Amino acid sequence: MRWTPGRKSNDVEDLRGQTGGGGGLRRGGMKIGLGGILLLLLLSVIFKQDFLSLVDTGQMATYSTGETQSDPDRNAAEEPLVQFVNFVLDDVQSTWDQTFPAMGAEYRHAKLVLFRDYIQSGCGSAESATGPFYCPEDEKVYIDLGFYDELKQRFGAPGEFAQAYVLAHEIGHHVQKVLGIESQVRELQSQHPAQAKALSVRLELQADCLAGVWGHSTAQRDILEKGDVESGLGAAAAVGDDRIQRMTTGRVSPESFTHGSSAQRVEWFKRGLAQGDVAACNAFE
């Protein structure tokens, strides 16, 4: 991607050197990310229980000691990535600033919180294993930058546009919150528990499409370079439920999907990339 290093976003809260945070038992209320899904799938195999369903119904409890120490060497190593996510965040949100008026709405910015190891969010406590997630309660995206190493090394999805896709997807969830889609889906899930997972998949696929809408704008502005689109599509495929389940358990259980298959995630990301229109992202039809 073509971008200029050195930018610092007003919407980034860098808490990587924060010490403390405490610990304790927590129940439900948090959106779980890729790392958390992997962990729960592994636990499901070991203990022969469906831990993913416990998360969906808000019954799972976790414990964390929550100690985070300052690490100057790691901070220095992560600095280029910090500057990149600052750029991406501002670019994504600037796109939505310009898009919302045409929909008769006004966009309000989300915050991006950079943390290390452990964080206390408005949706509860989270660890690095949770993966990137959006908390609708405080309208913030949370990410431990170490996730990007996992995305590249374990899931085979390298490249800047792959990293940008992850962040744009989480901001897509914020767009859903601002437009009232997120609250409508949560209400439907409470009214129809049997459809909770299917509705979650649709919400995730729409966020993929919204990430694609931003991606479309980068192509229009000649920010993308050769191979960037393939990098983003590779990331979308890498985090499909079927691929993750196959990696962790050796089998695929479509009935437990919460984010969609690799093919579905690629399809909806491509839809946003191709059309660049929010209207094309109605995954609930």
pLDDT for res 115: 93
pLDDT of residue 225: 85
- The confidence score (pLDDT) of residue 263 equals 94
Kindly provide the residue ranges of all beta strands, DSSP E only, lying in the chain, ordered along the sequence.
12-14, 24-27, 61-64, 111-114, 118-121, 124-127, 133-135, 140-143
- Write down the residue that tokens 């129809």 correspond to: 192
Q: What pLDDT score does 50 carry?
A: 55
pLDDT of residue 39: 58
Residue 264 has what pLDDT?
A: 94
Cβ neighbors of 69 (< 8 A, separation 6 or more) are 17, 19
Q: What is the pLDDT of residue 123?
A: 93
Phi-psi region of 156 (alpha: psi -120 to 50; beta: other; left: phi over 0): left
Instruction: Flag residues of the chain having pLDDT under 70.
Output: 19-70
* Number of residues that make up the chain: 285
Interatomic CA distance for residues 77 and 24, integer angstroms: 31
